[in-house]
Amino acid sequence: MRQKNMLIPTLRNVGAEAEMVSHRLMLRAGMIRQLAAGVYTYLPLAYRTLRKVEQIVREEMDRIGAQELLLPAINPAELWQESGRWDDYGPELIHFQDRHERDFLLGPTHEEVITDLVRNEVNSYKKLPMTLYQIQTKYRDERRPRSGLLRGREFLMKDAYSFHVDWESLDKTYRDMYQAYIRIFTRLGLDFRAVEADSGAMGGEENHEFMVLSDSGEDTLALCSSCQYAANVETAKVGRDETKAPDMAEVPKPEKLSTPGASTIDEVIQMLDKQPEQLIKSLLFTVDGDPVLVLVRGDHEVNEIKVKQALGAETCHLADDQTVNRVTGAPTGFAGPLGLKEAVRVVADHAVYEMAEAVTGANEADAHLLHVAPGRDFQVDLYADIRTVQEGDACPHCGEPIRFAKGIEVGHVFKLGTRYSDSMNATFLDQEGKEGRLIMGCYGIGISRLVAATVEQSHDDNGIIWPVGAAPYHVHLIAVNLKDETQSRLADQLYERLRADGVEVLYDNRQDRAGVKFKDSDLLGIPLRITVGKTAAEGKVEYKFRRSGKSGTLTTEELIKKLPDLLNRADQQQ
């Protein structure tokens, strides 16, 4: 393409509202423009990159036998009422009514539509397993869209759904997908990890998130410093040594102390001159409607997801103040396991078991108890791993220390099981003519987010550095001075030749000074730059890799011969 008439409105600077590197660089490179909060126009360069990424995803999906289709973005409310998600998804659904006042929504994901399709069209085990996917715009009314393409309200996503007669079949497709994802992110040259994750509102069983490592990521990952263990901190397990029963023979009886106004761990340790790990933090949760007292060590944090899992519950959240008052007889901040007004279930973290004595709330305003011995002074109904992992904790697999890293979630694979086939009655007939419930998996990749994540991970002070796989063009051809007849003719010839050879080349034929072209070229981040300049008279041009900065001079014939080789080297760091 000749750059002169292309819509590539580069900017020297952008406003302070764009904070994320990818957001700033994509604005500056003339790739995206914001239309509304979380809604962006993809200009020609961004659209090319988007299609490049799409194509990689498509190839890897096709390779594992997935079939591409396109589902409607507009969904009737009935389908979502049937699955129960019309209410569950809540205000995040963008919905509207048509002229007949029928409810519709713009799909944030497509389990309902695909399940409806498959239950109608696939009735026999002979067709199974089957994997279908689409690449489509999704709509989510995020409470707070932010960070440019990383968290939009309209975004491009690849979503795949698999259907099976049994779990073994799902396991196989899940593994295939997992490998396909690894190939996709590897082809994009990304530094990423597959981590164990929580399935959230999607429901279902085993699942992994694919995280691009980046300090600007919203998710925190717990990575083992020694083995392969990797998990989202939301769900990461806490490893522990062999549990040792504490010796509490010498522990005196509980003693009440006045602690006026000390309702937080910090205030209590200040007042009593204790360390946080000598306290038991007691929090009242409402779990499936019932109050449950949850105990963790003072320096630990309760993990609601784990509490929910440990109790096999559907819902779990901190109890409101009234409930706390009723159950403990005290304002929030003074709860403890001794002397509750109501008998409630008590769940404690493993670390609590190992405490010989502890400070707890006294279930009385402005008072705490000293010398409380778990097991002696109160009973625990269930000990479980219910705290959030901390940096330095033992890895649950090998015991080595866990370290944290930040990541951007670009993919997620789920084993859904029968979550949707149950609620939507999706069945098939097996070999014996008996009806079976379809077992499902679903697998997403945020395509537009992936583009932004690539920029987050691949840039320098001068601009974007595209991996060849995602680059909008492979070669940026620059004529230094178009008024120089020799340069201009050589550049034109080279452009036509490259084009004829099928090379994806962007030709900067603008009547600008060299400095402007070089600056823009760095900003756009095309992997290989070819400059036609001073040496044009000798029939020579210069090449330069955007990533490594390495350069050289070649005749045009040599260049054309070596171009495939040069492009192979373009992603190299050195």
Partner RNA sequence: CGGGGUGUGGCUCAGCUUGGUAGAGCGCCUCGUUCGGGACGAGGAGGCCGCAGGUUCAAAUCCUGUCACCCCGACCA
The contact set with RNA (CB under 7 A) reads 10-17, 19, 28, 34, 36-38, 92, 143-147, 197-198, 200-202, 209, 219, 232, 234, 317, 409, 412, 462, 480-481, 483, 513-516, 518-523, 531-535, 542, 544
Indicate the residue among 448 and 521 with the shorter CB distance to RNA. 521
CB 499 within 8 A of CB 492: no
Q: Is the dihedral of CA 168, 173, 178, 183 positive or negative?
A: positive
Pairing of strands 475-479, 505-508: parallel
CB 302 within 8 A of CB 283: yes
Distances from the Cα of 73 to the Cα of 32, 140, 149, 522, angstroms: 23, 12, 19, 37
Indicate the residue among 216 and 328 with the shorter CB distance to RNA. 216
Indicate the residue among 38 and 441 with the shorter CB distance to RNA. 38
CB of 439: closest distance to RNA in angstroms? 20
CB of 371: closest distance to RNA in angstroms? 33
CB of 316: closest distance to RNA in angstroms? 9
> What CA–CA distance (Å, rounded) separates 416 from 236?
20
Cis peptide bond N-terminal to 276, omega within 30: no
Indicate the residue among 363 and 487 with the shorter CB distance to RNA. 487
Residue type, position 533, single letter: G
Q: Which residue has the tokens 């440990």?
A: 310
CB of 519: closest distance to RNA in angstroms? 4
Indicate the residue among 33 and 126 with the shorter CB distance to RNA. 33
CB 524 within 8 A of CB 45: yes
CB 552 within 8 A of CB 540: no
Q: Which residue has the tokens 């901390």?
A: 390
CB of 128: closest distance to RNA in angstroms? 26
Q: Where are the alpha helices (DSSP H) in 349-446?
A: 350-353, 419-423
Indicate the residue among 246 and 533 with the shorter CB distance to RNA. 533
> What CA–CA distance (Å, rounded) separates 496 from 517?
20
CB of 370: closest distance to RNA in angstroms? 31
Sort 331 into a burial class: Cβ within 10 Å, 0-12 / 13-18 / 19+: middle
Indicate the residue among 14 and 382 with the shorter CB distance to RNA. 14
Q: DSSP for 90-131?
A: GGGSEEEE-TT--EEEE-SS-HHHHHHHHHHH--BGGG-SEE
CB 220 within 8 A of CB 406: yes
Indicate the residue among 74 and 201 with the shorter CB distance to RNA. 201
CB of 218: closest distance to RNA in angstroms? 7
* Strand positions, DSSP E, 29-93: 32-36, 39-42, 67-68, 74-76
Q: Which residue has the tokens 């026999």?
A: 124
Within its chain, how far is the Cα of 479 from the centroid?
A: 42
Indicate the residue among 523 and 570 with the shorter CB distance to RNA. 523
CB of 415: closest distance to RNA in angstroms? 15
Indicate the residue among 92 and 504 with the shorter CB distance to RNA. 92
CB of 542: closest distance to RNA in angstroms? 5
* DSSP summary character for residue 537: G
Indicate the residue among 60 and 198 with the shorter CB distance to RNA. 198
Total residue count of the chain as it appears in this document: 574
CB of 356: closest distance to RNA in angstroms? 32
CB of 464: closest distance to RNA in angstroms? 12
> What CA–CA distance (Å, rounded) separates 206 from 220?
19
Three-class DSSP labels, 174-236: HHHHHHHHHHHHHHCCCCEEEEECCCHHHCCCCEEEEEEECCCCCEEEEEECCCCCEEECCCC
Indicate the residue among 145 and 467 with the shorter CB distance to RNA. 145
CB of 368: closest distance to RNA in angstroms? 25
